[in-house]
Structure 1
């Protein structure tokens, strides 16, 4: 029995691109490339150099072809590539993601940039989700002690899996907690990317956000509930001079900054992302 060819790399790439383009997927060519590379266990960047290479039935079996087409249909229906492939690049690492956690996005990297502007010895990450913030901060400061909390045990399972896979477990603890409810001790850095979308804004979201857990997106109220809790309770857990950094929605900068100021924080800064939108509020607790 011969190992017959089953079309070229380029044929399957064009096949996938056409399906996604007809579905109105922006970046159809790129997404088809990523999905095909995953099924061929290849580096996506090398596929363009292999467009004319014929694939064989051993390399791309009938079952593999069917799985590829199933993933293409999932993407055509709006499911993000990261949730199809189960991975998302963030900062300098690749994180496992599923439907139990928020998909890490480049905007959140601003929170990391600001956190790294000053040293920290004890850090608290509230609502850790995939663990992308806590794990990245642990990687960048191997001597720090970091506690990461989440109310969702399923999210914590994902975060622990990422910590093991990336090789960061020493000095990093994951704990189930409703915000600061199960937290003890004092920290010189508290970070959080809480649910900040108002309930009445949920219908306006990009389709791919439908595949993130709803509780990680909205408080089912005005989008400010988590900030009220953090503003009221964080002072009890910060050392003098400790910093509080939170990601925000693009229209919430002044509101959250005023909330923190009223709670006794100073050195308030509202920082913009690369798109020019308010993205992070930074504050200092003087004690």
Structure 2
């Protein structure tokens, strides 16, 4: 029989070669098996595991050892202090994207009507978070993937969000509404053949949500171009992009006639989100 402590020691040894956070990974996976918080592991290190618990734990450790992201193994990831269901059909929420939400909230009044669209919503983290924080806003979440939309709808239901509507759409193609105060998106922006696509969690994430043509800029250009027909006067455009794409994205925005173009840095100090205002 293995105790919690001995199981974690063995798991950390098994994961050390493939993970920089082997102990955290092991603890999260064991908590998932036990339906407990991490504090429980520290409070009861000598508690013996049942054989089926140990078997389930080691099955998860083996999949993690093969590289499968922890978020996919347990089916969830926290974002903006909320728990979101995730699967290999959607990107894993990342802290970088909290900047996009933070900036979006600055433009949405807390007590007045406001209409916005989240393009390429994936698991729905952006649309649902904005809708939860600004209940007077009318939010549309669009994604080309039916599987991603099902996950986003599930996440809206689990957080009791009622001011989001979901549409399967290739960007704006099948969205009935035409005029928005804000267009916001975390689109694919990694260049085809980028070496990062063969590293870490990205290997298991949907490539269609990661990779774009024209050195990763094609979808950003499409969104910025077409948003001009869907933004109200003085409407706002916010797009997340790669850390090394600041100048190209600003050039795209300015070339399409956006005003007040500027780029914001994420928590790591990397250029991550570019803004433009449509005044035509």
TM-score, normalisation: structure 2: 0.94
User: How much has 1:204 moved relative to structure 2?
Assistant: 5.2
Kept in 1: contact 2:253–2:276 (CA 8 A):
yes
Secondary structure of 1:116's partner? helix
User: How much has 1:118 moved relative to structure 2?
Assistant: 2.1
Q: Structure 1, residues 213-261: CA drift from partner, whole Å, max 9, x if none?
A: 0100002442111111112110111111111000000111111111111
Instruction: For structure 2, list consecutive stretches of 5 or more residues without a partner in the other structure.
Output: none
TM-score, normalisation: structure 1: 0.92
Partner of 2:241: 248
Instruction: For structure 1, list consecutive stretches of 5 or more residues without a partner in the other structure.
Output: 1-5
Partner of 1:178: 170
**Distance verdict in 2 for CA 1:87–1:188, change over 3 Å:** same
Q: Separation in 1 of the partners of 2:195 and 2:2?
A: 43
Q: Separation in 2 of the partners of 1:68 and 1:114?
A: 40
Aligned length: 275
Alpha-carbon RMSD: 1.4
Match of 2:23 among 22, 29, 35: 29
Q: Structure 1, residues 135-168: CA drift from partner, whole Å, max 9, x if none?
A: 0000110111100100100110110111111111
Q: Separation in 1 of the partners of 2:239 and 2:248?
A: 13
Secondary structure of 2:211's partner? coil
Partner of 1:65: 54
Partner of 2:128: 135
Secondary structure of 1:274's partner? coil
Please show how residues 154-193 of structure 1 align to structure 2 within 5 Å. 154-168=147-161, 170-183=162-175, 184-193=177-186
Segments of 4+ moved more than 4 angstroms: 202-205
Q: Separation in 2 of the partners of 1:7 and 1:230?
A: 54
Q: Separation in 1 of the partners of 2:2 and 2:56?
A: 16
User: How much has 1:203 moved relative to structure 2?
Assistant: 5.3
Q: Separation in 1 of the partners of 2:123 and 2:18?
A: 29
Q: Structure 1, residues 60-85: CA drift from partner, whole Å, max 9, x if none?
A: 43222111101001111111110110
Higher mean alpha-carbon deviation, 218-227 vs 188-197, is at 218-227
Q: Structure 1, residues 169-191: CA drift from partner, whole Å, max 9, x if none?
A: x2211101101111232110110
User: How much has 1:202 moved relative to structure 2?
Assistant: 4.6
Q: Separation in 2 of the partners of 1:42 and 1:16?
A: 18
User: How much has 1:205 moved relative to structure 2?
Assistant: 4.6
Kept in 1: contact 2:118–2:127 (CA 8 A):
yes
Partner of 1:98: 87
